[in-house]
Structure 1
Amino acid sequence: MKKNMGSADRIIRTIIAVVVGALYFTDVITGTLGLVLLILAVVFLLTSLVSYCPLYAPFGISTCKLKKEDS
Structure 2
Amino acid sequence: MKKNIGTADRFVRVMLGVIAIILGLSGILEGNLKWIALIVGAVMITVASVQFCPFYVLFGINICKVKEKK
Answer yes or no: same fold by TM over 0.5. yes
Where does the alignment leave 5 or more consecutive residues of structure 1 unmatched?
A: none
- Shift of the alpha carbon at 1:31? 0.9
TM-score of the aligned structures, taking structure 2 as reference length: 0.87
The number of equivalent residue pairs is 68
Identity %: 38
Hey, which bits of structure 1, 4+ residues long, moved more than 4 A? none
Where does the alignment leave 5 or more consecutive residues of structure 2 unmatched?
A: none
> CA–CA distance in 1 between the matches of 2:44 and 2:26?
20
- Shift of the alpha carbon at 1:8? 0.6
What residue in structure 1 maps to residue 63 of structure 2?
63
Q: CA offsets, 1:12-67, max 9 Å, x none?
A: 00001111111111101121011112111111010000000011101111111254
